[in-house]
Structure 1
Amino acid sequence: MEVGFLKKSFSTFVEIDTCNHYLKFGIEKLTEQIDLFDYHWGIQEKKYLMNVIRLEYKIEDISADQEYEINLNMSVCFESQKSCYFTMTVFNGYRLPKVFCDWGTGFNIPEFSLLRLLKEQNETLSEQLPLAVRNVLLEQLGLSDFLLDFPCNVTSNQFING
């Protein structure tokens, strides 16, 4: 990022890590990290670094295409009541494919607890969960996008009679 009247270039970056669920941005050594677990998909957010660097972003979760769509602007502002000195579009409708993470590295949602979820749903661990509770569980684990809406029925004649 070039700020002309200072005759100085600044190194800026934006990093999106979908496996560890964060968006990180910064200028030089000053960084900010946003937890994507707390982000409301499709809502425009604003973050500030020392109230000089301003980041406006919106991330859409495009489940059908297994992608994220990112809109991101970065601005340099020296006056709080005036327009920013410089605004740069970093991403405008950029499609980022969802990557499969290394599934062998442990549980990916450290705050999740099956027992807490069952208690919130007024259920106990039984042989088979009710459909509504199963759907909540799969959604919270982030698995619902990967499962078929109508799975095969292995008890049907097609599978029994070969």
Structure 2
Amino acid sequence: MKQIVLIRHAEAENSYLGGSDFDRDLTTEGITHAIQLGRELNTEGLEVDKLIFSTAQRTKETTRYISELLNLSEEKLEEAPSIYNASVGQLYEMIQGLDNTMNSVVLVGHNPAISYLAEYLTEEFYSFVPASAVAIELDVEEWNHIVKGFGTIKFTKRM
């Protein structure tokens, strides 16, 4: 059995304030929601083998708060520049290529790809607002055996 937890980053500053989309920081509310989401995930007793995240500033900040609340060591964190602006197909390929010794992986990314991936894996629509998560159980022994609609939603969180 494998599990993937898909997380959309917390609320970021508006892009009209200047600067690049990639470098947007979390808002004060975004920080609060990232912390709340980390606490909620912790209450689920979430075991994490690897947390993979986009290198965009808002996902790095979201990851920092969540990983601290889940007590994850640096070895369990992995930056993945390819998540930023990834298509659902690219995220799916990333998951299929995961090391089979890992059973529970968290992926922190961006919409719309993160929403499309959840829908692809479960054939259920889930609207990812900022600082939301969906845990998907996959009844497979190897990540590359995942196919469309094979996942079952275990829990959802919205801040």
Q: TM-score range by the shorter chain?
A: under 0.3
Structure with greater helix share of residues: 2
Report the TM-score, using the length of structure 2 for normalisation: 0.25
Report the TM-score, using the length of structure 1 for normalisation: 0.25
Larger Rg: 1
Structure with greater strand share of residues: 1
